[in-house]
């Protein structure tokens, strides 16, 4: 008969069931149980996530994507965050959500500094960081594994510090031009932020290339190896569309360069910020 202390020790030794590895060859990617999520809902989510991961891993681009995230996670993990016994650390957490999304993991004591690790600035990659993913495993769509792949591509980009930053967390977030009102309660920051968001999505889908990284995984590469048609837009938006036009408009309205500076090719205030974020 075990003693009370032995029972407590045995309970503490149990692995929590809500930290399921998403794939046997990717232990730094785990399916997480959300606060308030039932055990049955979590179990269904974990099974579907694993099915989607297996499908992605069945082809070369998907396998490279997952393995690179897993390897990068092991490289960036400082070690002391790991507690493989009771609360396993993971580089990428996949939660159930109503919509697919991915964002860098943030340090609550330094949210801006920790976010910046995911992004390139002035054409130079940052350190890289982990990612919080939400994946709608209940979506009635045979292509939902592609949706998970899309979010994992964001995670790959975050892991290698090559994602496109929003202006709000960038080193140039306090540039005066960003606070310029443009009507309707919006500022230049709104337009630049939407442009940078779409730039990240266009690169993730594969509509536009990532500067200096021509061979990285994209959604369209995943689609091609599974016989799915390529996407040429993101939620109806395409390069050269309304967001580009809006950016050109605020750029012109806030351009304070003299003629000589223009002739010398000096960037306008808006161009300077966009280049900082997207080059």
Distance CA 90, CA 87 (A): 9
DSSP bridge pairs for 92: 29, 131
The domain 14-163: what is its CATH number? 3.90.1240.10
DSSP alpha helix (H) spans, 142-268: 144-159, 188-205, 219-225, 242-254, 259-263
Residue-level pLDDT at 141 = 85
- DSSP letter for 33, please: P
Q: Work out the widest C-alpha separation in the chain, in whole angstroms.
A: 89
Query: Could you tell me the CA-to-CA distances from 50 to 92, 212, 231 in Å, in that order?
Result: 14, 32, 25
State phi, psi for 113 to the nearest 5 degrees. Answer: -60, -40
Question: What is the domain partition of the chain in residue ranges?
Answer: 14-163, 167-279
DSSP bridge pairs for 121: 124
Closest CA to 155 of 278, 30, 261: 30
- DSSP letter for 52, please: H
pLDDT tens across the length of the chain (279 residues): 778 787 677 666 555 554 689 999 998 999 999 989 999 999 999 999 999 999 999 999 999 999 999 999 988 875 555 555 546 778 999 999 999 999 999 999 999 999 999 999 999 999 999 999 999 999 888 899 999 999 999 999 999 999 999 999 999 999 999 999 998 889 999 999 999 999 999 999 999 999 998 889 999 999 999 999 999 999 999 999 999 999 999 999 999 999 998 889 899 999 999 999 999
pTM of the model as a whole:
0.90
How would you classify the pairing of strands 131-135 and 92-96?
Answer: parallel
Residue-level pLDDT at 10 = 66
Residue-level pLDDT at 121 = 98
| Tokens at 123, concatenated | 């054409």
């Amino acid at each position: 008969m075990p003693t009370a202390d032995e029972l407590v020790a045995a309970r503490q030794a149990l692995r929590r069931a809500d930290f399921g590895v998403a794939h046997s060859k990717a232990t730094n990617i785990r399916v997480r149980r959300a606060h308030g999520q039932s055990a049955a809902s979590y179990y269904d989510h974990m099974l579907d996530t694993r099915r989607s991961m297996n499908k992605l891993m069945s082809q070369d681009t998907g396998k490279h994507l997952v393995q690179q995230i897993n390897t990068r996670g092991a490289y960036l993990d400082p070690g002391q965050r790991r507690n493989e016994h009771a609360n396993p650390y993971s580089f990428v957490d996949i939660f159930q959500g109503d919509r697919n999304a991915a964002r860098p993991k943030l340090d609550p004591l330094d949210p801006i500094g920790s976010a910046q690790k995911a992004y390139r600035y002035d054409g130079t990659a940052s350190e890289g960081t982990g990612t919080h993913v939400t994946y709608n495993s209940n979506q009635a769509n045979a292509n939902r594994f592609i949706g998970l792949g899309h979010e994992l591509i964001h995670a790959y980009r975050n892991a290698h510090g090559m994602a496109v930053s929003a202006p709000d967390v960038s080193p140039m977030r306090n540039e005066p031009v960003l606070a310029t009102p443009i009507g309707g309660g919006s500022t230049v920051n709104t337009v630049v932020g939407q442009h940078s968001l779409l730039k990240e999505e266009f690169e993730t889908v594969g509509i536009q290339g990532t500067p200096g990284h021509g061979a990285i995984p994209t959604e369209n590469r995943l689609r091609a190896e599974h016989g799915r048609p390529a996407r040429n837009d993101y939620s109806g938006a395409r390069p050269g569309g309304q967001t580009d036009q809006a950016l050109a408009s605020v750029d012109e309205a806030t351009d304070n360069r003299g003629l000589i500076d223009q002739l010398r090719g000096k960037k306008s205030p808006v161009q300077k910020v966009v280049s900082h974020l997207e080059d």
